[in-house]
Structures are given as C-alpha cells and as structure tokens.
Amino acid sequence: MDRMEQLRELLNQSPKDSFLRHALALEQEKAGALQTAIRTFEELLADDPAYVGSYYQLGRLLEKIGQPDQAIACYENGLMYARKAGEKRAQNELQSALDELLYD
C-alpha cells in the first residue's frame, strides 16, 4: 500500500482530520495531480481556516499553475490567520512568499 492509499484509509476513519488532509494534498502534488491537490487544500481550508500551514502550500501551487492573483489572496488570508494564532514562523514564511510574488 502506497502512502496516498494509507492516507485515504486513515481519512475514511477521520474525514475532517486537517493533518491527514494536508499530507494527502502534498502527496497528490508529488504525484503531479496539481488540480486535485489544490482542491484538497481548498476544502481543508474551507473546513479549518485556522490550519495556517496549508496556505503556504496552496499559494505555491496556485503560483505554479499560473494564478498569481489567487496565490496573493491565499497568502494574505494565511497571514491573517497566522497573526491571530501568533504563529510567527508561519507569518514570516507567508510574508516572504507574498513579497516575492509582489516585488520580484
């Protein structure tokens, strides 16, 4: 059983587990299923908008498929939630990604 299958099996038991959903999206990206990964991240964040680690990953994917405006919005939303949660590392990561997109 590969990692993606294992994650899906675990998600059958805990379908709203944000950590598992994030891991599944990363595996989907690694397998080249970018649109599926984007959809998984979007669904995760719709259910758990405070799961700040997914904003960076989703923003990167949106950049990769040529949607910089959506990536900017994603990074900005992530920054808002990271600030609320006091997650400085996530704030710095998201701000760097946003600055790079806006000013490079």
Give the H/E segment covering residue 99. Answer: helix 88-103
Rounded Cα gap, residues 102 and 97, in angstroms: 9
| pTM passes above 0.85 | yes
| Residue 56 DSSP class | H
pLDDT number for residue 104: 77
Rounded Cα gap, residues 87 and 52, in angstroms: 9
Rounded Cα gap, residues 64 and 85, in angstroms: 27
Look at the domain 3-103 and name its fold.
1.25.40
Average pLDDT along the chain: 96
How confident is the model over 5-49, as pLDDT tens digits? 999 999 999 999 999 999 999 999 999 999 999 999 999 999 999
Q: Which two tokens stand for residue 4?
A: 């993606």
